Chains A and B, each alone.
Chain A
């Protein structure tokens, strides 16, 4: 077997944060003595990425995602732990390593702001030593898949967010990296742009068998692109496996939301639908939260449509933030073994409730 593309072991990153006392007295005190607290951003994280794998690295804000990515890309040096990526130690072999990786930060462009996109590409061609023939061939592919051809003469600052992201993606793959880091690649994009970016990533991953690590808030990104997710919170890995498994285990819910016409008499706060109860969200709008381990969503749907004058209907699943919030709550409860809320011997993450939840 070949080595994994990325091997992360017990990765730790702590930051010293100076604590400032409030007010003038505090500021004066800070002149003589600054108190620092140690903040652990990444706390003994370990995982492997196989070659050609596409993995979602997820977690709430401040979970340590970006800090991990910065260590894996060589920007930050870890406090302790090991990373071997493509045979390199990222922060030590940075110059050689960065030749074989691509990085896209959704929030920030990697391109030069004031010059035409094509000029940025030419600079990158020179920086990465891409031959003219390879360059032409790859640009053709980028144009086919991302439709960047018509954007090339424009300066980056004049592009829309979606256009810029397409150019950034193309730029990150110009040197055909074997490892690609994507930090929030669909943030701020509209539906069409998101779909474009996703299908491109799928295609690129298939075509070049690039290993991709993707951080995102958008569950749909993960669902469409990644077989596997690594979920972290407070710097620790809480889940490493399939997204379906994560959701089924921790928050096996479906939300059925529907609008009624006519509005039920009295505009009640709750409606009975067979054995289930729908909570009122707004006038004429209700929601049923289904525990999927107890009943199939389809059964509930059938009954809703049969019993009520449904005008419009949508089924949703909890988004990643919610799943993570749930897992975190359980995680915090696990840390306090005396907590009476924890079911004896039961798997953590059992969703015991039904009925009213705010969507």
Chain B
């Protein structure tokens, strides 16, 4: 409990520091937010275009699709804000040697890696996603109140799933001397989780639900609110999946750090 309070305070400080440093260059930050927003708007437009051509694709109405897609931006946005350092971990920490400094501080190394840098402009995705969900809710009269109430919490679980999967991929840098790594192809898979999983064939469904559980991050969390009873068990499995992958991530980092300790690289 003490440790939790300590880390929460530290997180707030790290975040405040980052925001302060980032806002020192206002124009740069404004451009980044705009660029990020245009990216989100573009991919959203593709979805809208697609569904203007095929209304009721695989039995999903237009507002439902907006709900799904809007929600998917919440865990994804949170993930984007917090994952800035994962991409550069091998370069900035292992190659340049900053990881030594991380190990010299009495704070969890993983905590420091995740929270030393942020992708602040991605908060825009959370806002945009929230707005899309709000609009969809106004058009969908028959939603489950419990499903709606749990939505924010499930968005956090979703972000934990994303962060853990990419944390696991990043930890591979301790073993594989490859600056690019496995992250980019998996990153592309994230887009799959934003559509109703029912439109895919079985292989993709299995992949997104088990190996790389992105369906648990963005699709299943919406199913309770949308009253898709066939998916309800998956909805309730989301916290367990998040916990499982978070633990897996932590275990892998521990092994990676131990390996760093014995090889120095």
Residues of A within 8 A of B (CB): 15-16, 67, 70, 73-77, 79, 91, 94-96, 98-99, 101, 103, 105, 108, 110, 112, 114-115, 119, 122-123, 126-128, 155
- Cβ–Cβ < 8 Å partners of A108 in chain B: 97-98, 100-101
Q: Is the CB of B264 within 8 A of A70?
A: yes
Measured in the bound complex, the distance between the Cα atoms of B17 and A67 in whole Å is: 33
CB < 8 Å A-B pair total:
64
> In the complex, which residues 106-153 of chain B have their Cβ closer than 8 Å to any Cβ of chain A?
106-108, 116
User: Quick one: which of A75, A96, A115 contacts B103, CB cutoff 8 A?
Assistant: A75
Kindly list the 7 A-B residue pairs having the minimum CB-CB distance in the complex, ordered from nearest. A77-B261, A99-B106, A114-B21, A98-B106, A115-B21, A75-B103, A95-B106
* Distance in Å: Cβ of B103 to nearest Cβ of chain A: 5
Q: Can you pick out 8 interface pairs between chain A and chain B where the beta carbons lie within 8 Å of each other?
A: A77-B262, A91-B261, A103-B104, A108-B100, A110-B104, A112-B17, A115-B21, A123-B13
- Cβ–Cβ < 8 Å partners of A112 in chain B: 17, 116
Measured in the bound complex, the distance between the Cα atoms of B264 and A73 in whole Å is: 13
Q: Is the CB of B264 within 8 A of A67?
A: yes
B183 at the interface (CB under 8 A from A): no
- Cβ–Cβ < 8 Å partners of A127 in chain B: 10, 105-107
When A91-B261, A112-B17 are in contact, do A75 and B10 touch as well, CB less than 8 Å?
no
Q: Is the CB of B101 within 8 A of A110?
A: yes
Q: Is the CB of A94 within 8 A of B107?
A: no
* Distance in Å: Cβ of A184 to nearest Cβ of chain B: 14
Residues of B within 8 A of A (CB): 9-10, 13-14, 17, 20-21, 97-98, 100-101, 103-108, 116, 258, 261-264
- Cβ–Cβ < 8 Å partners of B258 in chain A: 77
- Cβ–Cβ < 8 Å partners of B107 in chain A: 95, 127
- Cβ–Cβ < 8 Å partners of A155 in chain B: 21
* Distance in Å: Cβ of A240 to nearest Cβ of chain B: 25
* Distance in Å: Cβ of A20 to nearest Cβ of chain B: 12
- Cβ–Cβ < 8 Å partners of A110 in chain B: 101, 104
* Distance in Å: Cβ of B94 to nearest Cβ of chain A: 13
* Distance in Å: Cβ of A171 to nearest Cβ of chain B: 11
- Cβ–Cβ < 8 Å partners of B105 in chain A: 98, 127
- Cβ–Cβ < 8 Å partners of A95 in chain B: 106-108
Measured in the bound complex, the distance between the Cα atoms of B13 and A94 in whole Å is: 23
Q: Is the CB of A126 within 8 A of B264?
A: no
- Cβ–Cβ < 8 Å partners of B103 in chain A: 74-75, 94, 98
Q: Is the CB of A122 within 8 A of B13?
A: yes
* Distance in Å: Cβ of A118 to nearest Cβ of chain B: 11
